[in-house]
Structure 1
Amino acid sequence: MILRKLKANEHVLTRPLWERVFDEDTTEFLDYYYTSKTEDNEIYVIEKDGEIHSMLHLNPYVLQIGKKEEGSRYIVGVATDRMYRGQGQMTELLRKAVRDMYTKKLPFTFLMPADEKIYYPHDFRFVYAAEQWEAFMANGEVPSLDAILHSGNGKRILLRPALASDCKKIAAFAEHILEEKYQIYVKRDWLYYETLLREQKSQKGGILLAETDDEIKGILVFDEEKGFSVREPLVEPGYEDIFEKGGLILKKQEKKKPMIMARILHVESLLSCMACDEDTEFQFILVDPVIRENNKIFSIKGNKEHLVVRTKPIAKGKSDGIQMISVDALTTILFGYKSLEKVEEEEQEKFSAEFKESISKLQPLNRILLNEIV
């Protein structure tokens, strides 16, 4: 068995494995994926005698994290042929990918798990729960793009599907909304929306625009593969009812759905994106079973203006009394997904009162929008 990263012109060789493992995906979607997403992604495989038995895709995204723009990778297409499962091939691929991403100083990597239990042992933890939405037609019809386009309400609200020529306008609108509302989100330029539009069309969908006086006031990603499904709408403040006025009622469900798990990679890079509510200074020793370079003492000193991160090796006999913390627990804490007490309980770790007080002064990165599909 050989583990290697494919050359760009070899990426298409993984399509047969994708088709075998993810047989629910349509030909239209795979045509889109293997012409658009594999142009600039990285694919790791395990092969024998030239035949690929296991794979992992790293799709690149630029994220806004706090006040900084940082690269990241979205892990997708993790698959192993049925007869080769249970041999640790996924573990090998994940470990290799995680180590390589660390060398690029990427703050974290993320994925949408088919089953969280698969990734929990590999130091991934949930960081983002997505709002769930349902759509209804105001006139009682079953939602569909055709029904929306023929629902005209005469109130100067236009709902229409976006065209490729709209993407620059959409990107400008989205960036304005996102920077006000979220700490972490994918940077969305016109090319992002042009790609997203192709992705949605491959799934019998698109991007729905809500306009008044030729200005975008809301956008909604939808598909019609299995009924009319929508993803979190972005709406101009003050226009929260823009879609309803256009004839489409959006109802947010009470519970969010845990959607994205993350794994911290280069700890200094992530911490440098954070801010403090007030002055704080503390130390901890990180325990990372995969990225050995992370196993060191981290010294944090910050205030409302800036945060400084310093590291040093763990010197024998000179680390007594310094709080130890696993990379799993640190992930959950920095993203503010659960309380410190809950983290202690679930990760079976004990934090000192001093450590809890000090790390609580960091502003958690908990205002997140990561609802990418691939």
Structure 2
Amino acid sequence: MIEYLEGEHKQQCRKLWEEAFPEDSREFCDYYFREKIKDNRILALTDDGQVQAMLHRNPYVVRAREYDWQVDYLVGVATCREKRHRGYMRRLLLKMMGDMRQEKMPFCFLMPAAEAIYRPFGFVFVYRQQGFVMDREKEAGVLQVKGLIPEVDSDEYRDRQLLAAEWMERWLGRHYQLYAKRDQAYLRRLADEMASEDGTLDLFYDGEKIAALAGWWGRIKREQRLLYGDEPYVTMADGPGKPAIMARIISPEVFVNVIRLRKDAGRGHGCILPLRLQDPLIPENDGLWLWHLERERSWLERAAWSEGAIQEQEGFLPRLSLTIEEMTAWLFGYEIPDAVRPYEGVIEPLQGIFLDEVV
């Protein structure tokens, strides 16, 4: 039976989690099954009361240009060892996408353990994890450090976490057009998550000014979890970064609200682009759309005419045909499909994506 687990029944997933992800420490699992399951949704395939396969829909508020979207980050995607290769995960993923489509969720995203698992379901890479480096001389000689992980909860730490969240939100807003929004609740959870892996989470000050925010974690292998800041304190590492996050557009008519005509497109007030979208897994997406594009917004409507009749309409752009994978990679600003080359100077995809969530 496929069902969403509720309340204490969510704890039934821990056995499978520990089997599938043995690299996670007991302390991290304690954190996850204490904190993250409070507001997530766990879709599970159960048999005789035992969880045989699962996926966790962890909710985030994602800022996309001027819109705030409720978007799920997929984690804990796993099947019992002895039940694999029976199509259980396919059934869960199709059920999940159908539910998300009914909810009009614009997209969902994940960090793949193996990208081959998710490509058959329309997921593509949309974000490269770019490295950042702190100037060690400035860190040692100039910057003052204030921690964000309290030994004992206090008003001082709560105020500092709020200050850090507001600083992170401003920093992300200056550099990126799509990111998970930061607030005090986000910072509190992040501090708990870092602490579960014996981590540190610190603000670095240059006088009264926040210069950077950094976190390190790992009980066995120490690694940098995050680093935010600008020059001269923080610089971007060389290289393009490694592909890290995959995503899938679920409701294209919602997602395109953040896409628009380029300022220099020379199309007057707007234009209409017939779009043939191929999405064999979500029938509501598949088919012919009319894409209305203006300088501050765009929207989709189902085409009421045949393709032949559309081509006869004056003022329409030539028809564009895309798969859902091509549309996702393009509109996230990750790569430009060959079919889109004629429209590069007309349509402006998102510029700047930042998704560094772990769970």
- The answer for the alignment partner of 1:335 in structure 2 is 332
Query: How far apart are residue 241 of structure 1 and its match?
Result: 3.0
1:324 to 315, 321, 326: 321
Corresponding residue for residue 252 of structure 2: 267
Matched with 1:47 is: 46
Q: Does 1:357 align with 2:342?
A: yes
Residue in structure 1 matched with residue 145 of structure 2 by the alignment: 159
Show CA shifts across 1:279-298 (max 9, x none).
34311121111111112322
Query: TM-score, normalization: structure 2?
Result: 0.87
Once the 2 structures are TM-superposed, how far is the Cα of residue 358 of structure 1 from its aligned partner? 3.3
Aligned 1:101-112 pairs, distance under 5 A: 101-112=100-111
Partner of 1:310, secondary structure, is: strand
Deviation at 1:251?
A: 7.1
Distance in 1 separating the partners of 2:107 and 2:71: 6
Cα shift readout 1:336-367 (whole Å, capped 9, x = no counterpart): 211223xxxxxxxxx3xxx6433652222240
2:325 and 2:297 map into 1 onto residues whose CA distance is 25
SS in 1 for 2:77: strand
What letter matches 1:370 in structure 2?
A: L
User: Which residue of structure 2 lines up, in the alignment, with residue 370 of structure 1?
Assistant: 355
| TM-aligned CA deviation for residue 207 of structure 1 | 1.5
Question: In 2 relative to 1, CA 316–336 (structure 1 residues): closer, same or farther, beyond 3 Å?
Answer: closer
Q: Give the TM-score taking structure 1 as reference length.
A: 0.84
TM-fit CA distance, 1:133: 4.4
CA RMSD of aligned residues (A): 2.4
Letter in 1 for 2:202: L
Give the AA of the match of 1:299.
Answer: L
Give aligned pairs, total: 339
d(CA) in 1 for partners of 2:272, 2:307? 23
Give the AA of the match of 1:57: H
C-alpha spacing 1:358/1:136, structure 2 compared with 1 (3 Å): closer
**Secondary structure in structure 2 of the residue aligned to 1:283:** strand
Is 1:285 matched up with 2:249?
no
Alpha-carbon separation, structure 2, partners of 1:25 and 1:257 = 22
Partner Cα distance (1:133, 1:185) in 2: 17
Distance 2:325 2:211 in 1: 40
- Give the match for residue 154 of structure 2: none
**Aligned AA (1:300):** W
Counterparts of 1:312 and 1:255, CA distance in 2 = 39
Q: How far did 1:226 drift?
A: 4.3
Aligned counterpart, 2:68: 69
- 1:203 Cα shift? 1.1
What is the rounded CA distance, in whole Å, between the counterparts of 1:134 and 1:213 in structure 2? 21
Deviates more, 1:318-327 or 1:252-261: 318-327
Q: Which residue matches 2:213?
A: 219
CA distance in 1, matches of 2:83, 2:224: 36
Structure 2 runs not aligned, ≥5 long: 150-156, 312-317
- Structure 1 residues 44 and 67, CA gap change in structure 2 (3 angstroms): same
What's the offset of the Cα at 1:215? 3.2
Cα-to-partner distance string for 1:111-146 (whole Å, 9 max, x where unaligned):
00001111111100000001134679659xxxxxxx
Contact map agreement 1:298 1:310 (CA 8 A) in 2: yes
Which residue number in structure 2 is paired with residue 190 of structure 1?
184
Structure 1 residue 276: Cα displacement: 1.9
Match of 1:301 in 2: 292
Q: Deviations over 1:26-62 (max 9, x none)?
A: 1100110011100000001111111111000000001
Give the Cα–Cα distance (whole angstroms) in 2 for the partners of residues 313 and 98 of structure 1: 26
Change (3 A) 1:135 1:177: closer
The letter of the residue matching 2:190 is L
Alignment partner, residue 86 of structure 1: 85
CA contact (8 A) 1:132 1:255 kept: no
Q: Which runs of 5+ in 1 are unaligned?
A: 140-147, 244-249, 342-350
